[in-house]
């Protein structure tokens, strides 16, 4: 924020937090100052955490997973969309990027994750143990059953974060690239189970995603946010594969859930590969969409 935009005096509702800027006591969403808030709203987000940095805590255990998210990225998301004591739900928890992010955010925030695959849950727990990080609730189940768990059905969540697998397109594409990224990771997208959304045909995938996100929606507080990671796929003749736009359309069918915008995350740790070279253009997609929805009831 420029000096011009930042109020110099705290004013009636402001609390001066020094270098951090001015906190507005009317802020119902988070504990950020004005300048921290505005910084987060930048539509492009660039990260390049080194594999050994604290921000990437426990990567040596988490890299058995094909696409673990940096806990520091989730920490920032959680700090923007919750206050201290906030509760976060992740229906596709993997090796716990969101749960670790909640622990790093601190302030008594808590997270509940649901994950199909035991080995990913074990890796998450190992990170907590080895790195002395608060362990959150991780449930092993198909996320379509998440309301059967009292940890979910008895809680009102401030934020839902979802990083779903994207239908069997994922299984068909880029497996070679992913193997190169994390040589210890599983060769299949995530699991070999039929209820893994990564193994479903597109229409079944959309239905399962709407079902799961609709169930999460019932546990989200009014005006609470839902944040969904998504990557497009390579355009094909007759199929532009703008998956992020399709996800916005599909989740728009959940009454009361409204799309509010996106951030594009550029992960500088991604390598470039010579797909298509030297014959045709094939994109190296090194960004992901972070789609942001709100419960408008
Ligand atoms: C993109 S990964 C999530 C990675 C996670 N954000 C992290 O940082 O580790 C998607 C995860 O969803 C899990 N999954 C797929 N289908 C599921 C289902 N029906 N219920 C619960 N988890 C599922 C996969 O096993 C995979 O670990």
pLDDT digits (tens, 9 = 90+) for 216-255: 999 999 999 999 999 998 888 898 999 999 999 999 999 9
For residue 5, the CA-to-ligand 1 centroid distance in Å is 41
Site to substitute for ligand 1 among 59, 123, 190, 247, most atoms within 8 A of C-beta? 190
Using a 6 Å cutoff on CB, does residue 92 contact ligand 1?
yes
The span from the CA of 1 to the CA of 263, in Å, is: 18
- The pLDDT of residue 20: 97
> Band of the pLDDT at 149, cuts 50, 70, 90?
very high
- The pLDDT of residue 49: 74
Using alpha carbons only, give the angle 256, 259, 262 rounded to the nearest 5 degrees: 155
Q: How many domains does the chain have?
A: 1
- The pLDDT of residue 188: 54
The span from the CA of 156 to the CA of 146, in Å, is: 13
- The pLDDT of residue 236: 87
- The pLDDT of residue 168: 65
> Band of the pLDDT at 184, cuts 50, 70, 90?
very low
> Band of the pLDDT at 5, cuts 50, 70, 90?
low
Residue 256 included in any domain: yes
Residue 174, number of CB atoms within 10 A of its CB: 20
> Band of the pLDDT at 271, cuts 50, 70, 90?
confident
Residue 249 maps to which CATH number? 3.40.50.150
> Helices in the chain by DSSP H: which ranges?
34-40, 59-62, 71-81, 97-105, 118-131, 150-153, 169-172, 175-181, 202-218, 243-251
Residue 8 included in any domain: no
Coil, strand or helix: which one is 258? strand
For residue 145, the CA-to-ligand 1 centroid distance in Å is 14
Please name the residue whose Cα sits nearest to atom 18 of ligand 1: 142
Pairing mode of beta strands 110-115, 220-230: unpaired
> Band of the pLDDT at 74, cuts 50, 70, 90?
very high
Please name the residue whose Cα sits nearest to atom 25 of ligand 1: 190
Residue 19 included in any domain: no
Residue 62 included in any domain: yes
Boundaries of domain holding 116:
44-295
Share of the chain above pLDDT 90, in %: 77
Burial grade of 166 (CB within 10 A; 0-12, 13-18, 19 or more): buried
The span from the CA of 273 to the CA of 281, in Å, is: 12
Tens-digit pLDDT profile for residues 15-37: 999 999 999 999 999 999 999 99
Q: Is the pLDDT of residue 170 over 70?
A: no
Residue 22 included in any domain: no
Using a 6 Å cutoff on CB, does residue 167 contact ligand 1?
no
Residue 225 included in any domain: yes
Tell me the average pLDDT of the chain. 90
pLDDT top residue among 10 and 116 = 116
Q: Is the pLDDT of residue 178 over 50?
A: no
| Interval 60-80 mean pLDDT | 95
Residue 30 included in any domain: no
Residue 1 included in any domain: no
The span from the CA of 104 to the CA of 85, in Å, is: 13
Using a 6 Å cutoff on CB, does residue 197 contact ligand 1?
yes
């Amino acid at each position: 924020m420029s000096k011009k935009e930042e109020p110099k005096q705290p004013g009636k509702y402001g609390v001066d937090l020094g270098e951090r800027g001015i906190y507005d006591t009317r802020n119902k969403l988070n504990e950020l100052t004005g300048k921290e808030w505005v910084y987060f709203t930048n539509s492009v987000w660039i990260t390049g955490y080194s594999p050994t940095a604290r921000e990437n805590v426990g990567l040596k255990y988490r890299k058995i997973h094909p696409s673990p998210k940096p806990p520091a990225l989730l920490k920032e998301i959680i700090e923007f969309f919750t206050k201290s004591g906030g509760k976060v739900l992740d229906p596709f928890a993997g090796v716990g990027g969101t749960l670790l992010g909640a622990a790093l955010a601190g302030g008594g925030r808590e997270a509940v994750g649901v994950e199909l695959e035991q080995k990913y849950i074990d890796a998450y727990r190992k990170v907590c143990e080895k790195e002395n990080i608060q362990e959150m609730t991780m449930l092993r189940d198909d996320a379509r059953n998440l309301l059967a768990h009292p940890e979910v059905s008895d809680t009102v969540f401030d934020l839902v974060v979802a990083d779903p697998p994207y239908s069997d397109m994922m299984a068909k594409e880029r497996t070679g690239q992913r193997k190169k990224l994390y040589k210890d990771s599983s060769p299949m997208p995530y699991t070999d189970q039929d209820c893994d959304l990564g193994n479903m045909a597109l229409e079944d995938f959309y239905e399962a995603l709407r079902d799961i996100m609709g169930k999460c929606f019932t546990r989200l507080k009014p005006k609470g946010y839902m944040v969904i990671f998504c990557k497009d796929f390579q355009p094909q003749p007759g199929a532009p594969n703008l998956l992020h736009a399709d996800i916005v359309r599909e989740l728009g069918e959940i009454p009361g859930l409204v799309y509010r915008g996106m951030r594009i995350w550029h992960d500088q740790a991604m390598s470039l590969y010579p797909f298509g070279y030297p014959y045709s253009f094939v994109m190296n997609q090194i960004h992901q969409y972070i789609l942001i929805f709100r419960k408008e009831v």
